[in-house]
């Protein structure tokens, strides 16, 4: 019931005050969050342009109006009776699975299973830059590439796009876990990528990665395209190496060809790529964001210990979302763009 109320009012232009909202139903395991900050991820400006409309409309259960925004960071304003681990006033961060409206709003109702207490030492804005990229990186590196959290000594990992949201987080996570990290980025961002702890930074505008030694255990590809074939050649053959791409065709294929044809076409493409890589003893994967509370808790510990630092390039107020999206798409960002909500 409460979720319905928020859905209706979330789109309203006027400021929505918590006192105007009914308390959560005893049946639901949800919290009402007064949002203090969120962030911009590429998925949001891509969705704004129609990307993934078929899948996301189905997941949301309605078409318009759509409030975008994946990262949640704020203060718990009300809790359902089944919620045992959070109380009013708790500061939380999260990136829930897409379901209902998003975080570019002042309030959002989410299931408490997605929430983790925000690190005390971080501002709302800094904390809001973390959940979506953290859980995406975790899904690629741990779930797909089978890296063991905290035990990556001796592993050589190539992270493409080290100056981006995912890359800037993944470099720090892997270094905290003991891996040897090589990353790629543009000339003007080299020094900042190095400052994140990367052992080796390749300027993709000056150097061709094809000439690098083929001794990587894992490649996390945030760029795709021609990068894919080049990266596959950099992995150790027949040594349990993994290639994980975040640039995957599933949602566009479904947008263009419909759910069934798009999903089947993508599954065939994936199968073919996996089979081709298997001949060289390489595991090929498509990575995808997956909300994962245990992963976010582990990341919170690393943030608490300052082993990972948020990388927020610029912060915009909620009423300048259009400018925030434009800036995020400009190619000038290092790390994340954050949105502050009052």
Ligand X SMILES: NC(=O)c1ccc[n+]([C@@H]2O[C@H](COP(=O)([O-])OP(=O)(O)OC[C@H]3O[C@@H](n4cnc5c(N)ncnc54)[C@H](OP(=O)(O)O)[C@@H]3O)[C@@H](O)[C@H]2O)c1
Nearer to ligand X by Cβ, of 97 and 120: the residue is 97
DSSP H helical segments within the chain, as ranges? Answer: 2-10, 42-48, 53-60, 124-128, 131-138, 165-176, 190-195, 226-232, 250-257, 259-278, 293-304, 321-328
Q: How far is the CB of 222 from ligand X (least distance, A)?
A: 4
Nearer to ligand X by Cβ, of 164 and 310: the residue is 164
Separation in Å, CA 27 to CA 47, 81, 115: 32, 7, 18
Q: How far is the CB of 203 from ligand X (least distance, A)?
A: 9
Are β-strands 116-117 and 156-159 bridged in parallel, bridged antiparallel, or unpaired? unpaired
Nearer to ligand X by Cβ, of 156 and 160: the residue is 160
Q: How far is the CB of 61 from ligand X (least distance, A)?
A: 20
Q: How far is the CB of 47 from ligand X (least distance, A)?
A: 10
For tokens 């994946």, the residue is 70
Q: How far is the CB of 208 from ligand X (least distance, A)?
A: 11
Q: What count of other Cβ atoms lies within 10 Å of the Cβ of residue 53?
A: 15
Name the closest residue to ligand X (Cβ). Answer: 164
Nearer to ligand X by Cβ, of 6 and 254: the residue is 254
* C-alpha span between 163 and 21 (Å, rounded): 41
Nearer to ligand X by Cβ, of 79 and 130: the residue is 130
CA torsion sign for 84, 87, 91, 92 is: positive
Provide the token pair at 211.
């000439």
Nearer to ligand X by Cβ, of 79 and 181: the residue is 181
Q: How far is the CB of 89 from ligand X (least distance, A)?
A: 31
Name the site residues for ligand X (rule: CB under 6 A).
Answer: 41-43, 136, 160-161, 163-167, 184-186, 189, 204, 222-223, 227, 246-248, 287-289, 331
* C-alpha span between 303 and 36 (Å, rounded): 19
């Amino acid at each position: 019931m409460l979720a319905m109320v928020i859905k209706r009012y979330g789109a309203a232009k006027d400021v929505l005050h918590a006192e105007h909202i009914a308390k959560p139903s005893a049946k639901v395991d949800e919290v009402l969050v007064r949002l203090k900050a969120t962030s911009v991820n590429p998925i949001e400006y891509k969705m704004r342009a129609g990307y993934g409309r078929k899948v996301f409309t189905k997941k949301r259960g309605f078409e318009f109006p759509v409030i975008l925004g994946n990262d949640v960071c704020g203060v718990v304003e009300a809790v359902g009776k089944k919620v045992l681990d959070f109380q009013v006033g708790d500061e939380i961060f999260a990136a829930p699975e897409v379901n209902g409206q998003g975080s570019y709003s002042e309030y959002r109702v989410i299931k408490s299973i997605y929430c983790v207490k925000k690190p005390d030492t971080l501002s709302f804005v800094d904390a809001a830059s973390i959940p979506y990229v953290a859980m995406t990186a975790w899904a690629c590196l741990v779930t797909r590439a089978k890296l063991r959290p905290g035990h990556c000594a001796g592993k050589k990992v190539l992270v493409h796009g080290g100056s981006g949201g995912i890359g800037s987080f993944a470099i720090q996570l892997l270094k905290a876990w003991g891996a040897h990290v090589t990353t790629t980025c543009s000339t003007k961002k080299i020094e900042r990528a190095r400052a994140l702890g990367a052992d080796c930074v390749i300027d993709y505008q000056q150097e061709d990665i094809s000439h690098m030694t083929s001794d990587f255990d894992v490649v996390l590809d945030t760029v795709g395209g021609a990068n894919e074939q080049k990266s596959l050649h950099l992995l150790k053959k027949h040594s349990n190496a993994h290639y994980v791409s975040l640039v995957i065709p599933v949602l566009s294929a479904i947008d263009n060809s419909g759910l069934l044809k798009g999903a089947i076409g993508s599954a065939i493409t994936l199968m073919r790529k996996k089979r081709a890589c298997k001949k060289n003893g390489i595991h090929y994967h498509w990575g995808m964001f997956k909300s994962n509370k245990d992963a976010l808790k582990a990341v919170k510990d690393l943030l608490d210990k300052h082993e990972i630092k948020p990388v927020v390039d610029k912060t915009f107020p909620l009423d300048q979302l259009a400018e925030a999206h434009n800036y995020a798409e400009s190619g000038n960002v290092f790390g994340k763009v954050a949105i502050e909500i009052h």
